[in-house]
Amino acid sequence: MTASHPLQVGLLLLVIGTGWCAHSIAGEDAPKPHGSLFRALAGDTLQREHNIALLGMAHVSLSAANHNISRTQLPQGRARGIQPQSGVLQDTGLNLQHVGLMLCKGAGCPPGHVFKPNRNVLSRVTPLPGPRGDEVIVDWTISALYGEDAVFWATKGFDDFSWQADKPHRLAITQWYLDIFLPIFDGVSLLVGSWHSPLSAEIGYPFIPPNWFSSRTYIFAAAPTKHVGALAQAKLPLDPAYGLLSFSFGVASDWGSIDFGSGGGGPQFIFGLRWRSPDMQTWLDFEAVYGNGEDDFGDVRVVDGIARPRGGGSQYLALSSTNEYLDRFAAFWTLNHKATDRIDITAEAAYGYQEGGDLAPLPFAVTRDSEFYGANAGFRYRIAPRWHAGARFEWFRDEHAVNVLWGGVGATGGDVYATTLNVTYEPIPYLAIRPELKFDAYDGGGHLFAADTSGLAQHDEQLLGVINFEFRF
């Protein structure tokens, strides 16, 4: 950020100030950091009597990569060089990733942050032990982001605000939905509206999916982030000695779009199974999405010769001259396990398929049937009450570079390997500091990292350093 962005600077100062202010007002024994500023300013009546909360979060990152274009070479004074596959980070230097607000009621709020669940199924997340309950419960969420991350969480056809068409920092109304619990069968939850995807390991709470790391995985970059539609999750009968089990099924719009079939069309179908051990220490998930992958590609803007997403839509450009149905399927397997009081483990595998079309208006258009798949494993160790150390290892293959983040910088397909190390320090409940080091290596055609002013990548490896500051208010 530079002085030419006073709004971003002001928001950053506001977030820093309010985070510490909330700490001083609420004290060390505050129940939870999210929502503390609202409680301090307006009291806790809404939260105590109506289960309604206003939660805030902000992410600010200082990043540097080993391959960069000098700021003096680019008209906007911004250095480039971070391949977006390293997460949502796009530029080196100081970046306002996002300032986010969430207005929510009950289970529409992030689990564990504000309210204890009063149901035995949490939408998109998990079945829970305990009785079903006999009441219909209607909760809801409205959330918004402002910053660089917004382009990855926008909904095409909804967040297309003309005033920010070419701005690096954008506004997106990321979620708006009803979360309804129905006391039928063994317990059923129903999401209706716009919601972060339940697919892959990084489930969409509270503003962007929770993550031990500042950067995101290659599987995350290959998966949908948003849906508009309805998703039902039912707790299934199972002997408690064998754990907990739920099944989910949903019908949604095109990936990251409000449009139900912008091309030859039809909706996307989402389904999943979630198993939890009797002690809730081990979670196994399988989720998949199937539908038409024709003409749901996101809009792209070109800044300094480099293609950047405008927000919303899918990562895959597949077009048919006759609007023919082009199959797209993606499946995700996830394991989360709390090994000890100090050690947490996560692992994920994914497989995707995109049928090719017969039109190629851009070089990275998908014109042949293509697969993409990979796996990753992450570990987190609690060093001390306020300190954690983490490590993550990844392999991912996009055989024909069908993802725009690959094909858009000139890669033609291959394998990528990544290792990420970090430390998380939480000096107060309202602040988390995450220094991180990430190394990526690409083995394939073309190049994947460090796009220059031509828009084409120039290197097959990338070393990225990030210090991320997460503020909760």
Domain locations in the chain as residue ranges:
6-472
pLDDT interval class at 18 (50, 70, 90): very low
Q: Is 323 exposed, middle or buried (0-12, 13-18, 19+ CB in 10 A)?
A: middle
Tell me if residue 291 falls in helix, strand or coil.
strand
Q: Which two tokens stand for residue 213?
A: 């790391």
pLDDT of the residue at 29: 43
* DSSP conformational letter for 108: G
DSSP class per residue in 144-197: EEEETTHHHH--BTTS--GGGTT-SSEEEEEEEEEEEEE-STT-EEEEEEEEE-
Compute CA distances 473 → 34, 58, 224, 463, whole Å. Answer: 5, 8, 28, 32
pTM for this predicted structure: 0.89
pLDDT band per the 50, 70, 90 thresholds, residue 301: low
- CA 301, CA 83: separation in Å to the nearest integer? 16
Could you give the CA distance from residue 135 to residue 421 in angstroms, rounded to a whole number? 46
Q: Distance between CA 347 and CA 378 in Å, rounded?
A: 6
Structure-token pair, residue 329: 């399927």
Q: Taking a C-beta distance cutoff of 8 angstroms, is the pair 136, 180 a contact?
A: yes
Pick the CATH number of 6-472 from 3.40.1030.10, 3.50.30.60, 3.40.190.170, 2.40.160.10: 2.40.160.10
Q: Kind and range of the H or E element at 434?
A: strand 431-445
23-32, 172-181, 193-202, 442-451: which range is least confident on average?
23-32
In DSSP terms, 94 is beta-bridged to 62
Query: At 33, is the pLDDT very low, low, confident or very high (cuts 50, 70, 90)?
Result: confident
pLDDT > 80? residue 356 = yes
Lowest mean pLDDT among 80-94, 188-202, 446-460: 80-94
Count of all residues that appear for the chain in the document: 473
Residue 12 binned pLDDT confidence (cut-offs 50, 70, 90): very low
What confidence score (pLDDT) does residue 350 get? Answer: 98
